[in-house]
Amino acid sequence: MDAVRNPFAPGAGSRPPELAGRETILQDAHTAIQRALLGRPSRSQMLLGLRGVGKTVLLNKIEEMAQAAGHVTSAIEAPEGKALSELLAPKISQALRKLSTSESAKAKAHQALRALRSFASAFKLSYGGTSISVDPEVGVADSGDMEADLPELFVRVGEAAKAAGRAWTLLIDEVQYLRTQDLAALIVALHKVNQKDLPVLFFGAGLPQVAALSGDAKSYAERLFHYPAVGALEEADAKTAIRQPIEDEGERIEGEALEEILVRTKGYPYFLQEWGYQCWNIAAGPGIGLEDASKAAGEATRRLDDGFFKVRFDRLTPKEREYVIAMAKLGAGPYRSSDVAAALNETHQSLGPRRAQIISKGMIYSPSHGDIAFTVPMFNEYLIRNYVKKSIKG
């Protein structure tokens, strides 16, 4: 069929043509966005899930919804090892300049900019060529203690948003990469604006360990955040995610082909996009049949192996690769850390630093005490295909 009209677009953060199965998350976000404009607080949301389940897509959609409702938004992707203060300062500066265009908020926005100037000075932040041309507000957000200063800065931003009759929505992707002290400061800041009923909303996204990290940072995080799980799609939603875009293009897909795709992808959104993309390009038409879906498996798997899986495996050191391959040999997981240690003829304690480093790279997580699992769906199958079976044949 015509490749130009292919409705599927597998890629990092690329929005699928059909956001099936995420209606509850989006409805909850819509409610929170509208409540913020009325000065009624809502719990912040932290979307949790494995790689490739569409967390970034949902964050992007939520940002669009907030902007459409009149919110000023600030979106950040947290890289490994970078300070939150450095990420936030330019985004907050931009948000305050937008709020300052409202006559009713000029004074509060100016006050918030002064607090931001204090914050930037305390943390020795630069703005990449831009500057804040106001005097710092002495005694506000200038102690150099992130947990003390960030709440004061958030309050100032919230007050400016309230004066403008708007709201400020902060969105952070890859929350698991935030440093512990930064995550704690963020939680305290959000708690403070909630206590003051200020129109500030937060939506975060991260790997499953973020809930535990938040709780470790501040015990009341479980009451501050709602943690929607973003996982594989239910069967009906997965079928809709494939069938609807095809039908929207005036084509059709056979039921057997849909079943084949679901078996291969296990309902994971990124994999559904990859299989849909390959099925469309392989099919001669009219429509997509079982044979097309079966043929698509080879190319879809190759593309995933060369891209989605490989880029993550390549980040690991040889010893870390040895560890995750040992995990894969044990089956689908989750895995007992002690079983992995036994497979490597090591002690659980001696492998602790290696395991912690792989967790810090976002490759594995601990779903419960003593257990570990991959953060990438079907990663064990990739390792078996490429590093276990090939070594046996060799």
Instruction: Tell me the per-residue pLDDT of 327-350, one tens digit each, with 9 for 90 and over.
Output: 999 999 899 999 999 999 999 999
pLDDT band, very low/low/confident/very high, at 168 (cuts 50, 70, 90): very high
pLDDT band, very low/low/confident/very high, at 41 (cuts 50, 70, 90): confident
In this prediction, residue 127 carries a pLDDT of 57
The secondary structure of the chain, three-state, reads CCHHHCCCCCCCCCCCCCCCCCHHHHHHHHHHHHHHHCCCCCCEEEEECCCCCCHHHHHHHHHHHHHHCCCEEEEEECCCCCCHHHHHHHHHHHHHHHHCCCHHHHHHHHHHHHHHHHHHHHCCCCCCCCCCCCCCCCCCCCCCCHHHHHHHHHHHHHHHHHHCCCCEEEEEECHHHCCHHHHHHHHHHHHHHHHCCCCEEEEEEECCCHHHHHHHHCCCHHHHEECCECCCCCHHHHHHHHHHHHHHCCCCECHHHHHHHHHHHCCCHHHHHHHHHHHHHHCCCCCECHHHHHHHHHHHHHHHHHHHHHHHHCCCCHHHHHHHHHHHHCCCCCEEHHHHHHHCCCCCCCCHHHHHHHHHCCCEECCCCCEEEECCCCHHHHHHHHHHHHHHHC
pLDDT band, very low/low/confident/very high, at 130 (cuts 50, 70, 90): very low
Q: Inform me whether the pLDDT recorded for 157 exceeds 70.
A: yes
Task: Find the helix packing angle between 255-265 and 235-248, rounded to 10°.
Answer: 130
State pTM to two decimals: 0.92
| pLDDT tens, position by position, 368-377 | 899 999 999 9
Q: Taking the domains of the chain in order of start, what are their residue ranges?
A: 23-226, 236-312, 317-393
Geometric angle at alpha carbon 23, from 238 and 91, rounded to 5°: 110
Residue 127, C-beta contacts closer than 8 angstroms, at least 6 positions apart:
89, 90, 93, 120
The end-to-end CA distance of the chain, in Å, is 39
| CATH domain 23-226 topology | Rossmann fold (3.40.50)
Give the Cα separation of 157 and 132 in Å (integer).
15
136 and 118 in contact (C-beta within 8 Å)? Answer: yes
Q: Inform me whether the pLDDT recorded for 131 exceeds 70.
A: no
In this prediction, residue 12 carries a pLDDT of 67
Phi/psi at 225 (nearest 5 deg)?
-110, 150
- CATH second-level architecture of 317-393? Orthogonal Bundle (1.10)
Q: Inform me whether the pLDDT recorded for 381 exceeds 60.
A: yes
Give the Cα separation of 51 and 377 in Å (integer).
7
The better pLDDT of the pair 250, 81 is held by: 250
Task: Indicate the CATH number of 236-312 among 1.10.8, 1.10.3120, 2.60.40, 1.10.3470.
Answer: 1.10.8
* Chain centre to alpha carbon of residue 162: 28
What is the identity of the amino acid at 276?
G
Residue 184, C-beta contacts closer than 8 angstroms, at least 6 positions apart:
147, 217, 218
Closest-CA residue to 340 (of 313, 362, 314, 320): 320
In this prediction, residue 43 carries a pLDDT of 86
